[in-house]
A and B are shown apart, each in its own frame.
Chain A
Amino acid sequence: MGNLIWHEYARYVSLTATVYTVWASFWAFFYRKFFWDFVGGIVRTPGGIQPASNVSIFITLIVKTPVIPVLSMLHGLALIALEYPLPMLKNTAVHRSFVVRIIALLGQASLAILYYQGTNGALWSIVAAICYMRAQALGEKMKEAKANRGRGGKA
């Protein structure tokens, strides 16, 4: 694929997926639902799906208290800080590491897949992780920002 620099492309997908996930987790505070509750659950009118008793741990962490969405949001905000990046993270070993990002994105996907609003964010995070894996496999390196280069027209 031409001269595509995979980790630069992956960054855009990762930022999109993460912003979506943070937004989704925010809504998960108010409309609380375990995504997988249909497995073994029964539908009650009204009331919707009553989940099976063997998933009660997720009901506690998502529906009774939104612990997983809160974790997902914090995780997402941290990932945005790393990807954007926050000035103090620039040029650190963590910022240059693709492995950290792959793990963080897959972690984000596994958190987001648990609650109702998180599925698209989870899917896109996996897409971003795959792009970073490709960058890692191709041996790409993140270049340090060149010093003293202002933006054009601003000098």
Chain B
Amino acid sequence: MGESWFQREFLNPRRAIFNVVFYGVQLFLFAYGWYSQETNKKLSALNGLKWSVWTSRGAGLVLAFDGGMILVPMLRNIIRVVRPKMTWLFPADENIWFHRQVAYSMAFWAMVHTTAHYVNFFNVERTQVRPEIALDIHYTQAGGITGHFMLLIMVLMYTTAHHKVRAQCFEAFWYTHHLAFFFMIGLYSHATGCFVRDSAGPDYIKTFPFYSTEHCLGYESWRFTIWPGIIYFGERIWREIRARRATRLSKVLVHPSGAMELRIVKPSFKYVPGQWLFIQVPDVSGWQWHPFTITSAPEDPYVSVHIRQVGDWTQGLGERVGAGPSVVAAMTQAAMKGAEKDDSVYGIRGDFVELDPTSNARPLPAVRIDGPYGAPAEDVFNCEVAVLVGAGYCTSGVTPFASILKHIWYRQKKGALGTLKRVEFFWIVRDAPSFGWFQTLLQEVEAAQADPNFLRINIYLTQKIGEDMLWNIAVNDAGAEYDPLTLLRTRTMFGRPDWKSIYMRMRTAIETGQYLPGTNAQLKTKVGTYFCGAGPIAKALKEACHNVTTNNITFTFAKEHF
């Protein structure tokens, strides 16, 4: 990676603005907190503690800001409504990223605040500015107790949120992160001990908030920081209510590549392509919600998700519906054989097997879904040409495009494509066997095309190819109607796409009027690129888009965090 830290953080204007504003606000609050403590005549007794108390108050004010902000990116329902109107401000679904930045800041300022307080209480005991010892403040007063408690919760939450732990054992992360409830209680009640005061003893009163603001001179920051907490709590209740609305698992299809397709009927669930949902199966776990990309189109009479059995929850779900890992392995083998013999019962590879609920001893499990969340990909219909690029399969990579392609296909049938004239779909995938169910979908979409130019599917296989496979392809490919690997009419390409030349050719074709019939060079054309996958390709695409943009043809780039 040739990019340095400085280039990444400051030479990208959006990121630079974020850094200046986000860290600027924090530094300002620190300075203000320091200044307001140092110059407060009422607190002159405390100011005898000098720099340590100024530091702790400044850092405390920043922590209040961070404590208020930490929940804001988690207000998923509100973000879903607000985000489409503010795309100029947030590049994509960056809420988890922002959540992490706040958390990192919080850890840093917690360190500053705690260190300063250790000095404060040491000096309170030594000078006896108040008749108490350091350990009294640490372990018998509200500020100390909640503070140490919050630090312990932070250790547990931060360590289990590490991406490796999340991948190994999602529930360790999921359950531990709910300690946030107690963390927030600790945050809101951190100042109830009335440590910052101008009186000798804490001035407690009978009525809420149980200390008098006449003598307790903290920042009263809980009055602000509590609102995101209340709204978040309300959201969780609303999500619970919404999840309880009538939902039925109507079908489970097992695709030979090992993916299970769950088709769920929930009339109250409205969504657009590109969004995702949380799913819960009480028979597998009564508490866990797992995120999956929606693979059906809004026009479908059901909501579908494709689930691969990779973790303990997904395998548990497989066992529950009667398609555990062993069954899937057997099916995959059978299907792979079937691919070589077209007369086999499975027909073409990629055909799925529907689980028959009547043959199964247990009926299909109850499911609950929560959502939808995430960025809609609706603005595909606002460009003349949509370039969809999906890279990789394992991390959601291509799944959102299933929904988008289906949706395009439905709108095409209705003749409601908006300005969209052509779709270029690029799929960059490592190995052939992972094509699976998605390939079936592509076959359907490809077969349904009346205009051969509307949708172009470009598949790139990046894995190294052995000699056997090479000969196999050479023998089967020549003169065959369908590609031997994908069974699509489109030929598979090998290696990595050269984005610059692809975009260059596209531009030349548009300029000469070959690409979009009826369009000439005088009209403005918008080519939107939608990418989902890993970082390096995103960079290459972004550069290519930037390089080929001319006055009349704009190439835009959007990286979607599906």
Question: Smallest Cβ distance from B302 to chain A, in angstroms?
Answer: 30
A32-48 CB mask vs B (1 if < 8 Å, else 0) is 01010010000101111
Contact of A46 with B165 at beta-carbon distance under 8 Å, contacts A9-B159, A13-B159 already known: no
Distance, CA A22 to CA B122, complexed state (A) = 19
Please name all residues of chain B whose beta carbon is closer than 8 Å to the beta carbon of A48 when the two chains form the complex.
125-128, 133-134
Whether A38 pairs with B135 at a CB distance below 8 angstroms is: yes
Please name all residues of chain A whose beta carbon is closer than 8 Å to the beta carbon of B151 when the two chains form the complex.
120
Whether A9 pairs with B128 at a CB distance below 8 angstroms is: no
Please name all residues of chain A whose beta carbon is closer than 8 Å to the beta carbon of B118 when the two chains form the complex.
24, 27, 31, 116-117
Closest to A12 in B: B159
Closest to B111 in A: A23
Closest to B129 in A: A46
Please name all residues of chain A whose beta carbon is closer than 8 Å to the beta carbon of B169 when the two chains form the complex.
1-4
Whether B122 pairs with A33 at a CB distance below 8 angstroms is: yes
Distance, CA A154 to CA B3, complexed state (A) = 11
**Interface size of B in residues (CB-CB distance below 8 Å):** 35
Beta-carbon contacts under 8 Å, A1-29 to B: 1-5, 8-9, 12-13, 16-17, 23-24, 27
Closest to A45 in B: B128
Say if the beta carbon of A139 comes within 8 Å of chain B. no
Whether B171 pairs with A2 at a CB distance below 8 angstroms is: yes
Whether A116 pairs with B165 at a CB distance below 8 angstroms is: no
Contact of A46 with B127 at beta-carbon distance under 8 Å, contacts A12-B159, A38-B133, A153-B535 already known: yes
Distance, CA A43 to CA B133, complexed state (A) = 8
Q: Of B134, B152, B168, which is within 8 A of A3 by CB?
A: B168
Say if the beta carbon of A61 comes within 8 Å of chain B. no
Question: Smallest Cβ distance from B516 to chain A, in angstroms?
Answer: 35
**Interface size of A in residues (CB-CB distance below 8 Å):** 33
Whether A33 pairs with B134 at a CB distance below 8 angstroms is: yes
Say if the beta carbon of A49 comes within 8 Å of chain B. yes
Closest to A44 in B: B128
Say if the beta carbon of A133 comes within 8 Å of chain B. no
Please name all residues of chain B whose beta carbon is closer than 8 Å to the beta carbon of A45 when the two chains form the complex.
128, 131
Question: Smallest Cβ distance from A146 to chain B, in angstroms?
Answer: 15
Distance, CA A95 to CA B310, complexed state (A) = 30
Question: Smallest Cβ distance from B439 to chain A, in angstroms?
Answer: 25
Whether B312 pairs with A2 at a CB distance below 8 angstroms is: yes
Please name all residues of chain B whose beta carbon is closer than 8 Å to the beta carbon of A4 when the two chains form the complex.
165, 168-169, 172
Say if the beta carbon of B119 comes within 8 Å of chain A. yes
Say if the beta carbon of B170 comes within 8 Å of chain A. yes
Say if the beta carbon of B440 comes within 8 Å of chain A. no
Distance, CA A153 to CA B126, complexed state (A) = 56
Say if the beta carbon of A113 comes within 8 Å of chain B. no
B303-323 CB mask vs A (1 if < 8 Å, else 0) is 000000001110000000000
Whether A124 pairs with B119 at a CB distance below 8 angstroms is: no
Closest to A24 in B: B118
Please name all residues of chain B whose beta carbon is closer than 8 Å to the beta carbon of A5 when the two chains form the complex.
168
Which of B135, B148, B164 has the most C-beta atoms of chain A within 10 angstroms of its own C-beta?
B135
Please name all residues of chain A whose beta carbon is closer than 8 Å to the beta carbon of B292 when the two chains form the complex.
none
Whether B126 pairs with A8 at a CB distance below 8 angstroms is: no
Please name all residues of chain A whose beta carbon is closer than 8 Å to the beta carbon of B148 when the two chains form the complex.
120
Whether B159 pairs with A2 at a CB distance below 8 angstroms is: no
- Total A-B contacts with CB atoms under 8 angstroms apart: 87
B356-377 CB mask vs A (1 if < 8 Å, else 0) is 0000000000000000000000
Please name all residues of chain A whose beta carbon is closer than 8 Å to the beta carbon of B435 when the two chains form the complex.
none
Closest to B159 in A: A12
Whether B111 pairs with A127 at a CB distance below 8 angstroms is: no
Contact of A49 with B162 at beta-carbon distance under 8 Å, contacts A2-B168, A2-B172, A153-B1 already known: no
Say if the beta carbon of B26 comes within 8 Å of chain A. no
Please name all residues of chain B whose beta carbon is closer than 8 Å to the beta carbon of A47 when the two chains form the complex.
126, 128
Say if the beta carbon of B466 comes within 8 Å of chain A. no
Question: Smallest Cβ distance from B562 to chain A, in angstroms?
Answer: 20
Please name all residues of chain B whose beta carbon is closer than 8 Å to the beta carbon of A38 when the two chains form the complex.
133, 135
Say if the beta carbon of B27 comes within 8 Å of chain A. no
Which of B127, B162, B169, B170 has the most C-beta atoms of chain A within 10 angstroms of its own C-beta?
B169
Question: Smallest Cβ distance from A149 to chain B, in angstroms?
Answer: 15
Distance, CA A4 to CA B134, complexed state (A) = 39
Distance, CA A101 to CA B484, complexed state (A) = 55
Whether B128 pairs with A46 at a CB distance below 8 angstroms is: yes
Distance, CA A123 to CA B151, complexed state (A) = 11
Please name all residues of chain B whose beta carbon is closer than 8 Å to the beta carbon of A13 when the two chains form the complex.
155, 159
Distance, CA A123 to CA B312, complexed state (A) = 32
Contact of A127 with B155 at beta-carbon distance under 8 Å, contacts A153-B1, A153-B536 already known: yes
Q: Of B128, B134, B170, B535, which is within 8 A of A2 by CB?
A: B170
Whether A116 pairs with B535 at a CB distance below 8 angstroms is: no
Say if the beta carbon of B19 comes within 8 Å of chain A. no
Can you list 18 residue pairs at the A/B interface with Cβ under 8 Å? Answer: A2-B172, A4-B169, A8-B165, A9-B159, A12-B158, A12-B162, A12-B165, A23-B115, A27-B115, A27-B118, A31-B119, A47-B126, A48-B127, A48-B133, A49-B133, A116-B134, A153-B1, A153-B535
Known: A46-B127, A153-B534. 18 other contacts (CB 8 A): A1-B171, A3-B169, A3-B312, A5-B168, A12-B159, A31-B118, A43-B131, A45-B131, A46-B126, A46-B128, A48-B126, A116-B118, A116-B122, A116-B134, A120-B151, A124-B155, A152-B534, A153-B535
Q: Which residues of A contact B (CB under 8 A)?
A: 1-5, 8-9, 12-13, 16-17, 23-24, 27, 31, 33, 35, 38, 43, 45-49, 116-117, 120, 123-124, 127, 152-154
Sort A-B residue pairs by CB-CB distance and give the 9 closest, nearest first: A2-B169, A4-B169, A48-B125, A12-B159, A45-B128, A48-B126, A31-B122, A153-B536, A46-B128
